[in-house]
Amino acid sequence: MNLLVVFLSFTLLAVSSANPLAKHDEDADLTVPELITKYGYPAEEHHVITEDGYILTLHRIPHGKNPNKSLGKIAFLQHGVLSSSADWIITGPSHGLGYILADEGYDVWMGNARGNKLSRNHTSLNPDKDSQFWNFSWHQIGLIDLPTMIDYVLEVTNQTELYYIGHSQGTTTFYVMTSMLPEYNAKIKAQFSLAPIAYMNHMTSPLLHIIAFWTGPLDLLLQLIGINEFLPSNEFMALVGDILCGDDDITQILCSNVLFAICGFSPSEMNATILPALMGHTPAGASVMQIIHYGQEVISGGFRQYDFGLGNWDHYHSWTPPLYDLSQITTPVYLFYSHNDWLAAEQDVLRLCKGLGNACAGKFIVSDNGFNHLDYMFGIHAPEYVYNRVISLMARH
């Protein structure tokens, strides 16, 4: 087992090209705006530059099929780690939250965090050559990208507030933003956390356990070989597929995708028709530091800033990283979680709710025992189990 762990950990950082197992399908090659317009909805693409030079892409569905049905309200959607704005529309009009909210009358904006393939650009750094481009974790996404995108959306629409819906890292970054920059609470009417991630020490993902176990050495390795993009090699993913997954076609395809290998999946929730499109758009990229920062959460059990080890003193004037102060969050937050989620464990979600105090406005467990971390995006029953409730709660704020 130990040798395996070493092998897995070190091949993890090897750079590779696209996943060869990904099957091809027209939707896999279409861009997000092309997909949206293909299904008869209006689409816009916007770019915004952060104070540290990252060029971020936002996608917008300004209204649904009936342009007259407009609430004049904004729904801002933020994806999880290794994902992108494609998450919200890839399952098509009857299942994708982007379309569903647009048809409800919302002006839908979908962000992209620095480093994913839609925001893999910078005013002066080259992501293929400059390590410094990848010198960020989800801390910077929460502290810089989210406020930049939110301010841009409010400016373009001439509004003062929006609804925020986040999945996984899209929730972590929200807690970072509102705890570090409490003035942003006033810009969010309500926040909906799908598979909330703040505390992680009860998570059960085997692959993330392996990564977390090696977080210290990985961090050292990082200092030796340079800060980089998280790109597991094909050999590594094939190995993970063989070890962690069964051998029917669908599980093999899913397991060969690092996102699904980390998060798991429920075969009963997976619509095989959308698989080729899904494989074409995920994984969408991230930095190694983002993954290590999550590994640190698993080990430390705290919701805290990046652990630089001996470098903590230089960064924080403290030997341990500062905690994110959840008591600064005043936006009403609704937590959606499920028993089969490999990353957002029930105990960790309940601890988060406690930490949020009065801001924890409601928590809902998905009753289906098979519902997993990625089913909030891709699951056949996501509208029935989750989105319908989100929409009715939005109407209350």
Q: Give catalytic residue positions.
A: 168, 341, 373
Residue with smaller CB distance to ligand NAG, 101 or 329: 101
What minimum distance in Å lies between the beta carbon of 206 and ligand NAG?
Answer: 28
What minimum distance in Å lies between the beta carbon of 121 and ligand NAG?
Answer: 4
- What pairing do the DSSP bridges indicate for beta strands 188-194 and 162-167? parallel
Q: How far apart are CA 2 and CA 344, in angstroms?
A: 26
Residue with smaller CB distance to ligand NAG, 171 or 287: 287
What minimum distance in Å lies between the beta carbon of 74 and ligand NAG?
Answer: 13
What minimum distance in Å lies between the beta carbon of 223 and ligand NAG?
Answer: 8
Residue with smaller CB distance to ligand NAG, 5 or 380: 380
Residue with smaller CB distance to ligand NAG, 55 or 365: 55
Q: How far apart are CA 226 and CA 220, in angstroms?
A: 10
Residue with smaller CB distance to ligand NAG, 268 or 327: 268
Q: How far is CA 301 from CA 27, 35, 178, 333, 348, in A?
A: 40, 40, 20, 21, 9
- Can you say whether the dihedral through the CA atoms of 90, 361, 177, 286 is positive or negative? negative
Q: How far apart are CA 87 and CA 228, in angstroms?
A: 24
Q: How far is CA 209 from CA 73, 163, 172, 200, in A?
A: 41, 33, 19, 11
Over the Cα atoms of the chain, what is R_g?
A: 20
Q: How far apart are CA 117 and CA 149, in angstroms?
A: 17
What minimum distance in Å lies between the beta carbon of 31 and ligand NAG?
Answer: 12
Residue with smaller CB distance to ligand NAG, 34 or 235: 34
Residue nearest to ligand NAG (CB): 92
Question: Are the CB atoms for 63 and 105 separated by under 8 Å?
Answer: yes
Q: How far is CA 338 from CA 159, 253, 267, in A?
A: 34, 24, 16
Residue with smaller CB distance to ligand NAG, 20 or 309: 309
φ and ψ of 37, to 5 deg: -70, -30
Which residues of this protein are in contact with ligand NAG, per CB under 6 A? 55, 66, 68, 92, 121, 123, 131-132, 135, 158, 227, 271, 273-274, 380
Name the residue among 219, 214, 57 with its Cα closest to residue 149.
Answer: 57
What minimum distance in Å lies between the beta carbon of 115 and ligand NAG?
Answer: 13
Q: How far apart are CA 293 and CA 306, in angstroms?
A: 6
Q: How far apart are CA 379 and CA 333, in angstroms?
A: 23
Q: How far apart are CA 203 and CA 172, in angstroms?
A: 15
What minimum distance in Å lies between the beta carbon of 348 and ligand NAG?
Answer: 27
Name the residue among 112, 116, 113 with its Cα closest to residue 139.
Answer: 113
DSSP for residue 150 = H
